Structure 1
Amino acid sequence: MSLIVFPAIDLKGGQVVRLAEGDMDRATVYGDDPAAQALIFAAAGAQHIHVVDLDGSFAGHAVNAEAVERIVEAFPGHVQLGGGIRNRESVERWFDLGVSRIVIGTAALKDPAFVKAAARDFPGGIVVAVDARDGFVATDGWAEKSDMPVIDLARRFEDAGVASLLFTDVGRDGLLKGVNIDATVDLARATDMPVIASGGVAGIADIRVLSLHADDGIEGVITGRAIYDGRLDLKTALAVAQAAA
């Protein structure tokens, strides 16, 4: 299996944005037509995209639902969606609308029984977000830091049937500092679940290095600002990931 490259579409007030370190006050707007952005990614060859309802992450429920629906309708591939999905009704609604995988973060810490039930009832459809700040789990749109070590949260779901873990180093997200390769690979080796890397992709070097760790359990990588700022060409990233398979 080749590394899956997930170009990211983060939504705030219906616009395509990127945050720095998850801070809503440090948002850069990249466009006001999320569906059109999804089509640009598709034209470059992307078969997967990662969509986040940032407002929903803080509100605890869908805020940019209309924009997400337009993306799902427009994008011909697989949509992975996160942000404020914390109950079964939301999970069922998004799967019914055509979302391929759902990312659950805060609820994984606060309501693990819900996550395990969703993973059981929607095989291959649930991704657990493991958001790390200084080695501990960050919650509620990364505004809060818990006292649970990252590895403890991951192991809580080892036999639950989740599709993957999405590991984000919050301190690097949106800063173009490079992915925290060591921490990502350590997590993949410490669990039996595939891991998606996120936070800090700076350029093609990150894609190359992560591609070399497929055997360690690295399934994919999410990249946003590097693409939008022109530091990473999506076509090249997809080609590099494919060539390493």
Structure 2
Amino acid sequence: MIILPAIDIKDGACVRLYKGDFSTVHKVAENAVDTAKSFAEQGAKWLHMVDLDGAKDGERKNSKVILDVRKNTSLHIEVGGGIRDMASIEYYLSQGIDRVILGSAAVKNPELVKEAIKEYGVKIAVGIDALNGMVSAEGWTDTSEISFTELAKRMEQIGVSYIIFTDISKDGMLSGPNLNQLDELKAAVSCRIIASGGVANLKDIINLTDLDVYGAICGKSIYSGSLDLRAAVEIANAAENKGKGASYDYQQS
């Protein structure tokens, strides 16, 4: 399993939200580049970055910060937020971003996903964010009438290889990921699933490795200190090496 520490950007700053609510925004770090470098020093190989302003407004807003991180670290980076057209996809990928995440477009403009997959293949991921099992879009301000499993099946049919799943009710709450919905999603599609939202501690990382998801995004837990990133990476690497069902010794700080 891959651990992806998260950096969310709003107005150029590293922030976190509770359940995607923009009124709860609070700064968690001073500098995105320094934060990303610290993640790399703790063993992370991937970084998950979101342009929160872009997600809300439907256009790139914080790409300069994101590309500053790209230029100053060796991390693999996936980016989401406000990517609603081929020009934005091309922009990020041409600047060295490894994977682009389409979120609202999966609901609002599936033709864009088809075109992107045809052009860029595995460099495209789809973010499925759900509240009470129903997909939300537009920076989580618009709830659709599509279930998360139904959208995942549609995306698999298009050719999507990576799905990033977030249970919005878990986001930023440190209450543990929604293992039941993740299990349901894994049963519904053969895509690689990246879990997002709710990770609080090393036990959650172990639970996700046992579930055999492809990756786990960790945000607030790292910034708050409830999750030891270095230990999480070690557990994920051990799961990769030993296979599903391995047991681990860990200590909670």
Whichever residue aligns with residue 8 of structure 1, its letter is A
Q: CA RMSD in A?
A: 0.8
Between the aligned partners of 1:160 and 1:144, the Cα distance in structure 2 is: 23
Between the aligned partners of 2:40 and 2:190, the Cα distance in structure 1 is: 31
Whichever residue aligns with residue 240 of structure 1, its letter is I
Shift of 1:160: 2.4
The gaps in structure 2 that reach 5 residues or longer are 241-253
| Structure 1: 4+ residue segments shifted above 3 A | none
Q: Is the 8 A contact 1:62 1:85 kept in 2?
A: yes
TM-score by length of 2: 0.93
Between the aligned partners of 1:229 and 1:32, the Cα distance in structure 2 is: 14
Once the two structures are aligned, what percentage of the paired residues are identical?
38
Query: SS of the counterpart of 1:162?
Result: coil
Between the aligned partners of 1:26 and 1:59, the Cα distance in structure 2 is: 18
What residue number does 2:227 align with?
Answer: 232
Between the aligned partners of 2:83 and 2:164, the Cα distance in structure 1 is: 15
Shift of 1:32: 2.5
What residue number does 1:90 align with?
Answer: 88
What residue number does 1:68 align with?
Answer: 66
What residue number does 2:251 align with?
Answer: none
Q: Is the 8 A contact 1:124 1:161 kept in 2?
A: no
Q: Is the 8 A contact 1:103 1:129 kept in 2?
A: yes
What residue number does 1:120 align with?
Answer: 118
What residue number does 1:102 align with?
Answer: 100
- In the alignment, does 2:214 pair up with 1:219? yes
What residue number does 2:132 align with?
Answer: 134
Map 1:9-24; keep pairs closer than 5 Å: 9-24=7-22
TM-score by length of 1: 0.96
Between the aligned partners of 1:45 and 1:177, the Cα distance in structure 2 is: 24
Between the aligned partners of 2:124 and 2:219, the Cα distance in structure 1 is: 21
1:117-158: CA deviation from partner (whole Å, max 9, x where unpaired): 101110211111110001100011001111111111111111
The gaps in structure 1 that reach 5 residues or longer are none
Shift of 1:159: 2.9
What residue number does 1:196 align with?
Answer: 194
Segment of structure 1 superposing worse, 159-168 or 94-103:
159-168
Between the aligned partners of 2:89 and 2:20, the Cα distance in structure 1 is: 23
Between the aligned partners of 1:33 and 1:235, the Cα distance in structure 2 is: 20
Shift of 1:46: 0.6
Q: Is the 8 A contact 1:102 1:127 kept in 2?
A: yes
User: 1:207 aligned to 202, 205, 208, which one?
Assistant: 205
User: 2:163 aligned to 162, 165, 170, which one?
Assistant: 165
Whichever residue aligns with residue 124 of structure 1, its letter is V
Between the aligned partners of 1:73 and 1:45, the Cα distance in structure 2 is: 19
Whichever residue aligns with residue 131 of structure 1, its letter is D
Map 1:27-42; keep pairs closer than 5 Å: 27-42=25-40
Query: SS of the counterpart of 2:122?
Result: coil
